[in-house]
């Protein structure tokens, strides 16, 4: 399994808006080969820290997705988001491979 975390710090006054965006996400990724799951995680200690966790069967499946037209569409929507405070947030991306169960 290959797991990708994208963590963002969201302005406190925007947190509910960002959570709603993810609750109503496009779900393009869900149809992609090798996709296992999507979760939006909120840090208990620092609630303005949100992490998107996407699990893939393999790293190769993830790479196919991030080089796809579906990925470009989703990220183009983010870049064109009308709220510039949100559009300018840059995620910290971490990638993991499962080594034990």
- Domain residue ranges of the chain, discontinuous segments joined by +: 2-97
pTM for the model:
0.86
Mean pLDDT of 3-20: 93
- Split at pLDDT 50, 70, 90, the class of 25 is confident
Q: Is 76 helix (H, G, I), strand (E, B) or coil?
A: helix
Q: What is the CATH number of domain 2-97?
A: 3.30.70.100
- State the pairing for strand pair 49-56/35-42: antiparallel
Share of the chain above pLDDT 90, in %: 63
Residue 40 vs residue 90, higher pLDDT: 40
CB burial of residue 14 (10 Å; 0-12, 13-18, 19+): middle
- Split at pLDDT 50, 70, 90, the class of 86 is confident
pLDDT in tens, 66-83: 999 888 877 666 655 656
Write down the residue that tokens 């499962």 correspond to. 98
**Residue 73 pLDDT:** 79
Mean pLDDT of 5-14: 94
């Amino acid at each position: 399994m290959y797991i990708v975390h994208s963590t963002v710090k969201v302005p406190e006054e925007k947190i509910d808006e960002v959570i709603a965006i993810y609750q109503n996400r496009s779900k393009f990724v869900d149809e992609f080969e090798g996709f296992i799951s999507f979760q939006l995680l909120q840090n208990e200690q620092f609630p303005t820290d949100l992490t998107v966790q996407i699990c893939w069967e393999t790293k190769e499946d993830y790479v196919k997705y991030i080089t796809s037209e579906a990925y470009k569409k989703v990220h183009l929507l983010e870049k064109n988001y009308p709220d510039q405070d949100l559009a300018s947030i840059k995620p910290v991306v971490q990638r993991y491979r499962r080594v034990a169960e």
